[in-house]
Amino acid sequence: MQGRSIISVRDFSRDEIQQIIDIALRVSRGEWAGALRDKVLATLFFEPSTRTRLSFEGAMVAMGGRVIGFADASVSSTKKGESLSDTIKTVTGYCDVIVMRHTIEGSARLASEVASVPVINAGDGANQHPTQTFLDLVTIQQEFGRIDGLRVGMLGDLKYGRTVHSLALALSQFDVKLTFVAPASLRMPESTIEEIAGRGTAYVELSEIGDIDEPLDVLYVTRIQKERFGDFQEYERVAGAYRIDQDVIGSLGDQVRIMHPLPRVDEISEQVDSSPHAIYFRQAHNGIPTRQALLGLVTGAIP
């Protein structure tokens, strides 16, 4: 994978996804310590972030590398009117790998076309968030020892949530059953549903948590992506539509594990945090080994 950009999960075969998961698990056991020595990561965040940016930076530092970048585009030359491609052509000369988050769908692909170093997409608008998916899959593999055979539900804003777009597409490479639960206005995009169905993946679409009538192994909860609504009234109509609490978990069965890419707004009660069903903070912590694996692979530090 040396020199390769990570833009969309669509660019990865099932074998490649499995290889990344396996390497991340080996990294978490201490393999390749110090492998990113002498490497420089540039983090370009045009949109807010806590976990993605800090875990990329933490991953780099933990493996001996260094980090430059900005967490707020208003302090970059974008503010002066510089184009994204000029910014990328410049930064490409300062680093070995770029991690970028941007509001515009397709921006990461564009950046990878003008950069001479690998570009890792840390989220492009409502489109894709591939590295979140890799850490989600690492978490699932750790928890269940496998991905095949699992029943995975996704709940919340399936229209604007890039994490669920990436996760659903990646999971459709495995033998899983998917349950999508969203208000009618926030359903999974038709094009994504078609891709998933085209791979023969079994799925159902529901609008209420109470409609889930089969046990789930994973319920992946997402927040309503307020910043992506053009119309505030449309947001108000769906805000607070779902809330996971102990009663809901009880109705989903003892086997269920609750995941969430975070940040949470109000869709999971804080009382759930201490439940053995809640694995979302462990999931967030898997950002470090997963991103270590990805940085190592694309820079060639992990062969």
Does the protein bind ligand NCD through residue 139 (CB under 6 A)? no
Select from 128, 166, 71, 132 the least CA-distant residue to 263: 132
Least distance between ligand NCD and beta carbon 90 (Å): 25
Per-residue HEC secondary structure of the chain comes to CCCCCECCHHHCCHHHHHHHHHHHHHHHCCCCCCCCCCCEEEEEECCCCCHHHHHHHHHHHHCCCEEEEECCHHHCHHHHCCCHHHHHHHHCCCCCEEEEEECCCCHHHHHHHHCCCCEEEEEECCCECHHHHHHHHHHHHHHHCCCCCCEEEEECCCCCCHHHHHHHHHHCCCCCEEEEECCHHHCCCHHHHHHHHHCCCEEEEECCHHHCCCCCCEEEECCCCHHHCCCHHHHHHHCCCCCECHHHHHHHCCCCEEECCCCCCCCECHHHHHCCCECHHHHHHCHHHHHHHHHHHHHCCCC
The reply to whether 260 belongs to the active site is: no
- Number of residues counted as binding ligand NCD (CB under 6 A): 13
The reply to whether 52 belongs to the active site is: yes
Stretch that binds ligand NCD, among 22-30, 33-41, 243-251, 256-264 (CB under 6 A): 256-264
Q: Nearer Cβ to ligand NCD, position 92 or 290?
A: 290
The interface with ligand NCD within residues 152-211 (CB under 6 A) comprises 162-163
The reply to whether 222 belongs to the active site is: no
Does the protein bind ligand NCD through residue 261 (CB under 6 A)? yes
The reply to whether 223 belongs to the active site is: no
> Which x/- pattern, by CB under 6 A, does the window 36-65 give for ligand NCD?
---------------xx-------------
Q: Nearer Cβ to ligand NCD, position 35 or 158?
A: 158
Least distance between ligand NCD and beta carbon 223 (Å): 5
The CB-nearest residue to ligand NCD is: 261
Q: Nearer Cβ to ligand NCD, position 132 or 173?
A: 132
Q: Nearer Cβ to ligand NCD, position 123 or 130?
A: 123
Least distance between ligand NCD and beta carbon 164 (Å): 9
Please say whether the beta carbons of 96 and 41 come within 8 A. Answer: yes
Does the protein bind ligand NCD through residue 132 (CB under 6 A)? yes
- The catalytic site residues sit at 51-52, 80, 101, 129
Q: Which residues bind ligand NCD (CB under 6 A)?
A: 51-52, 123, 129, 132, 162-163, 222-223, 225, 261-263
